[in-house]
Structure 1
Amino acid sequence: MADLHPGVADPVMDTMNFLNEVTLNHPEAISFAPGRPYEGFFDTEQIFAHLRRYLDHLAAQGRSPAEVRRAVFQYGPSAGLIRELITDSLRADEGIDVPAESIVVTVGCQEAMFLTLRALISGADDVLLVSSPCYVGITGAARLLDAEVVAVGEREDGLSCADLEAAILAERLRGRKPRAVYVVPDHSNPSGTTMPLKTRHELLDMADRLDVLILEDNPYRLVSPGSQVPTLKSLDQYRRVIHLGSYSKSLFPGARVGYAIADQPVLKADGTTGLLADELAKIKSMITVNTSALSQAAVAGALLASSGRLSELNAGMAAHYGDTMRFTLQGLEREFPADRRARLGVSWNMPGGGFFLTLQVPFCADNDALGRAAREFGVIWTPMSYFHPEGGGDRTIRLAISYVTHTDVTDGLRRLADFIESEVAAARSHN
């Protein structure tokens, strides 16, 4: 059939498939492509312990055996079973103080994005603003929902509020309605940048002044070392921030549990006021009905085990990722000392946490180049052009450090350096 939604033919939809194909075809290659948690932290017995802890918690609350059984075996409320535990955890870990009814538990953060965009984008003139580069999950969701995306280029230190305001005003002059701005303020995917505190305050003030919402996606805070800048939601005095969360990095992605905090007031058709979360739950009831009760129970058990402080539960994990990031940055310095950097035209950023960093190279880092790197040098990376909705990033690659060992980093960076030398030599021979 040829009459499918045009979104399925968008090149963004093929990016992950292409990376998976390259990885499968070159199993011997060292891959800096997947932003997956390190599997050394997983233990199958944890799942049983988490489930048992949550079942005991329900019983301690006075639930009868039949009620406990029903909670995990039956369909559940669309808004989620464990909202109170999530609320307690957010208050303890992030200083985010919201009522439980403002939370919707979702099937990963990706569903939270879909629900939010579906609720907010109500007309052909509505616009979502994103940074460029930007996580493909939000731009892919927007494409499938026929939501117009406007990209605002990041500067070296991240997104500029002045650039963002100019883009919002320009869209209004065109007769369009900017509804929201999507940001990953901490150790962002893909660039690894972190938004300074001053910029966060500026962004919140601008959102209130210009009457737009902020979609805050923050999966990497609790797996990054050291103290973190406060979340936008914890600083939000105007209810401008819809906070999108996930337990895929801080616990394990197999649970597929995320959430949206949507405490914005909504005027209902009958004249009463409710919460945006209620509307997201309605939409969810027509998509996934409810998030798996067993998955929620596993997450709840982990929250109970740590008294809601995942930052403490994840301290070892955060230290591991921080160490791997430092080791990778040191490895880049080893492979590309100053004279070699200058000769090749290579540079990189230096994130303080998260899973990703970016490397600038003097050639077109496209799928063809990735194929040569995997086939001839045994190293895989991600083209940054995937993450630029309106083009760009052709000479930048993303390196993910979360899934690799120190040995992988050492060998992989050596292979990467050999590949870059080969590309530069080939380019010069053609000139």
Structure 2
Amino acid sequence: MPGIAVSTETRPRDWLEKAELHGSVSEPVLDTMNFLNEITHRYPDAISFAPGRPCDASFDPEQVIGHVRRYLDHLAERGGSPDDVRTALYQYGPTAGLIRDIIADSLRVDENMDVPAESILVTVGAQEAMLLVLRALVADPDDVLLVSSPCYVGITGAARLLDVRVRPVEEREDGFSAADLEAAVREELAGGRRPRVFYVVPDHSNPSGATMGARAREDLLRLAERYDFLILEDSPYRLVSPGTPLPTLKSLDRTRRVVHVGSYSKTLFPGARVGFVVADQRVRDADGGERLLAAELTKIKSMVTVNTSPLGQAAVAGALLGAQGRLSQLNAGAAARYGGSMREMLRQLDARLPEARRTALGVSWNEPSGGFFLTLRVPFTVDNEQLASCAQDFGVLWTPMTHFHPGGGGDHAIRLSTSSLTPAEIHEGTARLVRFVEARCAAL
């Protein structure tokens, strides 16, 4: 009413208190990508070993049109009417995906992974697949997600969004240890918790670059069966790496212990935003009826993204059809290029920090045979402040490994990505990086 003052204490707020939001928005892991993007924009002239993305030079915009055209022709050849083809491309499409049979054929010929099409769910990249799997499998506050640490921030970020308990299992310098995982599993069980899922990137992992050996793969599968947990396998780098890869965990899986996550972001192109999950585990209801886990994941997806872009699926399907499903052959040139970049990086490090010099400094690195990443270990503390200083004073960017250790750690390690750089950029970038390392070591 006119003349009546409104108390400022009862006036509606025009802001939100961050403390009232879900705790995940304050979680450091969710700030990782924003921080790296921000510092990249802040120093645009710096040579960046930070982004783990494919090389832009390998993309031809005209190919996308050809991929889509090939898929549309494929639909017509299989009896689809013009109306069917139009609907497939323009409408929402089935939640489980339009191209599951084509993905299944590709997995069969390229990965020796013989799974039915109905066990596949097409997702918006691998990231959505991880979120869906965690939401379905982790049903109790005492269920635990185990992760090989350091690990990809996408899985720990998804876990935080869903309030899933995470137990890191530290990766050794020579990679995964079944004994370490078993000790962690037993400790969780002793504490009254249930180890539910173990997440791992077996091939040229992000961030460390480590690859799980053949014996370790068999040990892991036996361990999962013995202690009744599932393995979430994420392996986006194996088909863009030189040489013959070791078998996927899923292709070795005889007891349906492995849920396999796949992505076409590295093997085709990230802009398609198409991934998939192979979930052939049987789910039995109270009445004894059975469905595949993929069908249960589809229910969740219908409430998250509804479906995966039909246009993106069409481009992926056309590429797979054109290669007769053999992504390994389609990516032979890219794998050679990425392998060459990794070898050049290792040559430059060795030339600029010979063995005697790096031993004296306390510097070392691993030597991945493929993938996008390697780990540089240094005697000084590595953090975001050091990264900013390196960008400003030495003109080179990288990623502190602390971002990838959910239980803390990685204070003396740097992730280096070689995938998007030219040989000349690797040459100059390594020179700048070594000058930074030398300067920090001298200041100790």
Question: Which residue identity does 2:423 align to in structure 1?
Answer: H
Question: Does residue 26 of the first structure (1) align with residue 43 of the second (2)?
Answer: yes
Map 1:56-67 onto structure 2 (within 5 A).
56-67=73-84
Percent identity, aligned pairs only, is: 64
State yes or no: 1:161 paired with 2:178. Answer: yes
Deviations 1:357-416 (A, max 9, x none): 000011111011001100000000000011110110100000000010001100000000
SS across alignment from 2:348: helix
Looking at structure 2, the residues matched to 65 and 336 of structure 1 have their Cα atoms a distance apart, in angstroms, of: 63
Q: 1:95-106 to 2 correspondence within 5 Å? A: 95-106=112-123
Q: Deviations over 1:203-244 (max 9, x none)?
A: 101111110000000100110000110000000000000000
Question: Does 1:315 find its partner at 2:343?
Answer: no
- The CA deviation at 1:8 is 1.1
Distance in 2 (CA, whole Å) between partners of 1:91 and 1:20 is 38
Match of 1:395 in 2: 412
Residue aligning to 1:295: 312
After the TM superposition, which residues 230-379 of structure 1 pair with which residues of structure 2 at under 5 Å, given as runs?
230-379=247-396
2:158 aligned residue: 141
TM-score (norm 1): 0.98
Match of 1:210? 227
Q: For 2:443, what is the secondary structure of its paired residue?
A: helix
How far off its partner does 1:425 sit? Answer: 2.0
Gap regions ≥5 residues in structure 1: none
Unaligned runs of 5+ in 2: 1-15
Shift of 1:268: 2.4
Q: Which of 403, 408, 414 is matched with 2:431 structurally?
A: 414
Q: Spell out, residue by residue over 1:251-300, the C-alpha distance to the aligned partner (whole angstroms, 9 max, x if none).
A: 00000000000000001244310100000000000000000000000000
Please report how far the alpha carbon of residue 426 of structure 1 lies from its aligned counterpart in structure 2 after TM superposition.
Answer: 2.2
Which residue does 2:245 correspond to in 1? Answer: 228
Which of 46, 69, 94 is 2:63 aligned to?
46
- Offset, 1:48: 0.3
Report the CA distance between 1:159 and its aligned residue: 1.5
Map of 1:190 onto structure 2: 207
- SS of 1:242's partner is strand
- How far apart are the structure 1 equivalents of 2:379 and 2:187? 33
TM-score, normalised by the number of residues in structure 2: 0.95
State the number of aligned residues: 427
The structure with more radius of gyration:
2
Q: 2:370 aligns to what SS in structure 1? A: coil
Aligned residue among 21, 43, 51 for 1:4? 21
Distance in 1 between residues matched to 2:133 and 2:355, nearest whole Å: 46
Distance in 1 of aligned mates of 2:287 and 2:380: 59
Q: Give 2:227's aligned amino acid.
A: L
How far did 1:137 drift? 0.4
Report the 3-state secondary structure (helix = DSSP H, G, I; strand = E; otherwise coil) of the residue aligned with 1:243.
Answer: strand
1:154-195 CA distance string (max 9 Å, x none): 111111111101111110111101101001000000010110
Q: What is aligned with 2:136? A: 119
Quote the offset at 1:15 in angstroms.
1.0
SS in 2 for 1:350: coil
State the alpha-carbon separation in 1 of the partners of residues 287 and 131 from structure 2.
Answer: 26
Instruction: Name the SS for the 1:190 alignment partner.
Output: coil
Among residues 178, 183, 194, which one is paired with 1:177 in the alignment? 194
User: What value does the CA root-mean-square deviation take over the aligned residues?
Assistant: 0.7
In the other structure, the counterpart of 2:127 is 110
Q: Distance in 2 between matches of 1:254 and 1:52?
A: 18
Match of 1:13 in 2: 30
Deviation of 1:422 after TM superposition, in Å, equals: 1.4
SS in 1 for 2:430: helix
Instruction: Spell out, residue by residue over 1:302-345, the C-alpha distance to the aligned partner (whole angstroms, 9 max, x if none).
Output: 00000000100000000000011111100000110123212321
Q: Which residues of 2 match residues 85-104 of structure 1 at below 5 A?
A: 85-104=102-121
Give the whole-Å Cα distance in 1 for the aligned partners of 2:126 and 2:286.
Answer: 29
